Amino acid sequence: MERPILFNTAMVQAIMAGNKTQTRRIVKRSGNTPDFYKRNKFHKLVDQLNNKTALFAGFYKDSDVFMHEGKEVIDALYFKAPCQVGDVLWVRETWQHSECFDSSVENQYCYKEHDCDREMAEAFKIKWKPSIHMPRKAARIFLKVINVRCERLQDITDIQALSEGVKQNNLGDHLAGIPIKTFAELWESLKPEAGYTWFDNPWVWVIEFKRVEGLYVKQ
């Protein structure tokens, strides 16, 4: 299945450079997280629920565990993953119509990720269109989902932090904990809502992907 996904300009640059191969998204159900329901324990991922094949994460609290006919049963609350392995994500990024820069060009697009496009936009005083409004036909980056899992935000490792596209600095990001600290700063720079900050340590979906070159996806 094909699904849209939002990335800011810095993360688009990291994807284009091959430095970003995973992303973390808050686990939500009807706008609420597992913590909202006091479900602070992770049960498992399941491939099928209610005869529908999909990836779900189950969450529960101690009182949701009971015995039934001699077997332990966990009354978990399930959250569906935002995408499934094999899905193709088309990236929504900050964009604009090319004709805003050159009236002779039609039906093409410019992207804030490009240095030359940013310089032209500044010179012509052109406002960029936010990524949320980018149509499917303007998409140029396609990502194939190769793995989806669920964990706490702070479970991230140094290697995984680098795979999130954080920049290595001159102090040497090979030192333990530095990439994680950089990722935490990146997460906070996105101004997460209350309950979703690094210090809140929310449950997140970890989506691993690979960029697919020249992919044609039927619109």
In 3D space, the residue among 48, 28, 17, 14 whose CA is nearest the CA of residue 150 turns out to be 28
The predicted pLDDT at position 218 comes to 47
d(CA 44, CA 177): 28
Which tokens hold the place of 136? Answer: 């499917």
| 217 within some domain | no
Question: Alpha helix (H) ranges present in 42-177?
Answer: 115-124, 158-163
Same domain? For 14 and 78 the reply is yes
Residue range 83-128, pLDDT digits in tens: 999 999 999 999 888 877 666 666 688 888 886 777 777 887 888 8
Which CATH number is 192's domain given? 3.10.400
Q: Give the least confident one: 31-35, 52-56, 185-189, 204-208.
A: 52-56
d(CA 177, CA 195): 23
| 219 within some domain | no
Residue range 165-217, pLDDT digits in tens: 987 665 454 556 789 999 999 999 988 998 999 999 999 999 999 999 755 54
User: Residues 84, 55: contact at Cβ < 8 Å?
Assistant: yes
The predicted pLDDT at position 88 comes to 95
pTM: 0.86
54 has a pLDDT exceeding 60:
yes
Range of the domain at 118: 95-129
Based on its alpha-carbon atoms, the radius of gyration of the chain, rounded to whole angstroms, reads: 20
User: Residues 22, 163: contact at Cβ < 8 Å?
Assistant: yes
| 216 within some domain | no
